[in-house]
Amino acid sequence: MSLHPFRPPAAYRREVALLEQEGQAGWTALAALSQAEIRRIARSSPGSEARLLRLRGQAKLLVALDLAPAEAALLLHAGVPDPAALASSDAHTLHRRIGRLQRGLAGSAMAPLPLATVRAWVLRAASLGPGRSGN
């Protein structure tokens, strides 16, 4: 279970309001939502389904791997949508992709993520096995 407070980026305030209305405002609750539940929640707000799916992807990574919200968001933006995809990733390739992303977002202001950290994430995701990957 995630101990991280549920604080999605401010740009997702409409989606957070939808989740709060449904009593699903939390990383663990969001990670457990199905595609059909996301679709139902988003029905009242055009454009929110895709955004809720992105938030759910972040939540799945965060909850399954006990990552910080920023780490899960970084993986998501680097093209890793869920723990199963992380488990099948090559750590070196993912590390390069994350490094490019970090440099593009923050230039040299952000310390590069160590390869050992990325490798540990991949190994942790692989240790979950197919039945426990959060999919």
DSSP string, 52-85: HHHHHHHHHHHHHHT--HHHHHHHHHTT--SHHH
What pLDDT digit, counting tens, does each position of 44-78 carry?
887 789 999 999 999 999 999 999 998 999 999 99
Which among 131, 133, 127, 27 has a CA at the least distance from the CA of 80?
133
Domain count for the chain: 1
Q: What is the pLDDT of residue 87?
A: 96
Q: What is the pLDDT of residue 50?
A: 92
**5 located within any domain:** no
- pTM attached to this predicted model: 0.84
Q: What is the pLDDT of residue 2?
A: 52
**97 located within any domain:** yes
Which range marks the domain in which residue 40 is found? 10-132
Q: What is the pLDDT of residue 61?
A: 95
**3 located within any domain:** no
| Mean pLDDT in residue range 29-57 | 91
What pLDDT digit, counting tens, does each position of 98-133 carry?
999 988 877 767 788 999 999 999 999 999 976 554
Q: What is the pLDDT of residue 126?
A: 95
**4 located within any domain:** no
